[in-house]
Structure 1
Amino acid sequence: MSDIDTKTVLEVVEIMKGVKSLLGATPNPYLPVYSALGGAFVGAVATFIPTTITTILKEKKETKTLTLAIYAEIKAIIELIEKRSYFETTKTIVDEMEKGLRGNSTYQIIVPEEYCVVYKNNIASIGKLDSALLVKIVMFYQLIDAVIQDVKPGGLLNTAPRGVEPFKELLAIGTHMVAIGQEIVEEIDKKFGLKTLNTRQDLDRA
């Protein structure tokens, strides 16, 4: 037992010598540097984390605001198209032409310049949106622009009477555009729970 005790004591003495050599009178010249670097690192991290969180939250809010603005614009466009029966009229023209009840015809719709002001004013930021949703949004506006080029004053369908084919093409593009727009509205409805929100004030509070 006494041999074990002596061995243990000697081991402790050696350990103490090693510790004393590390904490001796001659200081390690690099310790202040390590301390300074460590302090700088901790300070940088302490600053970086809240700044990053704030930036992420800000971008998230901006993305949501843009998504809701696009939602409102597309929803309004679709509702206007349906209310004024633009493509129902186009379908009637096509049906009558195919039945020989109508000859070559013209078709004109007055479209205000600001019909897609939200989309145009946010082209630089639209890349922040969900990629799958972004593809549909860009496609929707490209298709509606194609429709407008045909029906606006001076467009293909009103500069001169046209046969059935341009009208069938207009109907196909317009129907596809509305379907994509409805998909966009439904996806955003589902994502943000907007089914019961019907006013601009409701959207601002969402």
Structure 2
Amino acid sequence: MSDETRARDEICRVGASLFDRGLTAGSSGNISVRLEDGGWLMTPTDVSMGALDPARLSRFDAKGCLLSGDAPTKEAFLHFSMYGERADAAAVVHLHSSHATAVSILRDVDPQDVLPALTAYYVMRVGRLPLVPYFAPGDPDLAHAVKALASRHHAVLLANHGPVVAGTSLANAQHATEELEETAKLFLMLQNHALRTLTPDQVADLRRRFNLT
């Protein structure tokens, strides 16, 4: 089995898993993977992630030109903005997951780091999460805003929209996205309660222990 065939199958498997667990609905959300030849595979537009066909994924060359498959997601520019700034990015997951999107709508969050350090695994898998200002879907300025943050952050939260997360593998991007969603859920559950977040020293210790940037 070729690396590309494996990547096609993995995208469809991950998409189905996310859909079946309610982390994406309808035809929302998209996944991409960087291939060994420098090209990409990406989920098509207007297709449920629960019904992806490996043979119909959008295939791009190393210059970002569509070579085969169905028309790509309309949010392809979000993926290319991440890849262009992160040489270590092997995959990108973008969801409209309920809890992360809900947090992206809250008025009084810190735009430099939206979620507090509630757990060690959030710090390890997501780290700092900046909020990208709202832009209409497809607006080129959204791509520029993501690009401006991508070199320093592998995860960003789009205001009134949802998270975009890059990883060193598709599994890594998936797990980080799910950790972000679970932390957003905890954050919303704990509203109006006094929080005992990890201290700055505890966060710094995790960054040293696990060589986090």
Of structures 1 and 2, the one with the larger relative CO (CA 8 A, separation 6+) is 1
Relative to the length of structure 2, the TM-score reads 0.26
More strand by share: 2
TM-score with structure 1 setting the length: 0.26
More helix by share: 1
